[in-house]
């Protein structure tokens, strides 16, 4: 059996977090989920995460802080990060791309979008 890509999904909206977990698992990913940035950072230290999907607007620490911490750490800076948010303003999209995200998708992510996600991951490896 092929090894599944281990993906971390981070979103404070519980229903959307569950939706992404089910969607990615259905498409062959091993998924770990987190509803906040501090927990997600702990998971990244403990698990061999190969790909991250994160929201931007979350309480306490947001997705910008998460992305910054990941990209400024030599041990995590190479992990591909896809940002998924309902806020697709030009400022948000430009900022996350400048910070090192591999892409941006507007919520909701649909089944047919996962082909593009898989291509983004493959391109990073």
pLDDT for position 65: 97
CATH superfamily of 6-124: Response regulator (3.40.50.2300)
Q: Where are the domains of the chain?
A: 6-124
Per-residue confidence (pLDDT) for residue 112, from 0 to 100: 63
pLDDT at 94 over 50: yes
In the 8-state DSSP scheme, what is residue 60? S
Considering only CA atoms, which of 28, 80, 72 is closest in space to residue 50? 80
Confidence of residue 118 (pLDDT cuts 50, 70, 90): low
State pTM to two decimals.
0.87
Mean pLDDT of 20-29: 86
């Amino acid at each position: 059996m092929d090894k599944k890509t281990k993906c971390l999904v981070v979103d404070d909206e519980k229903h959307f977090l569950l939706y992404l977990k089910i969607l990615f698992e259905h498409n062959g990913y091993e998924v770990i989920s987190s509803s906040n940035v501090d927990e997600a950072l702990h998971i990244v230290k403990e698990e061999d995460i190969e790909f991250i999907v994160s929201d931007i607007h979350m309480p306490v620490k947001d997705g910008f802080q998460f992305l910054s911490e990941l990209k400024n750490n030599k041990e995590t800076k190479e992990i591909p990060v896809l940002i998924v948010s309902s806020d697709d303003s030009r400022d948000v999209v430009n900022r996350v791309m400048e910070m090192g995200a591999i892409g941006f998708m507007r919520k909701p992510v649909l089944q047919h979008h996962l082909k593009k996600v898989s291509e983004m991951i493959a391109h990073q490896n």
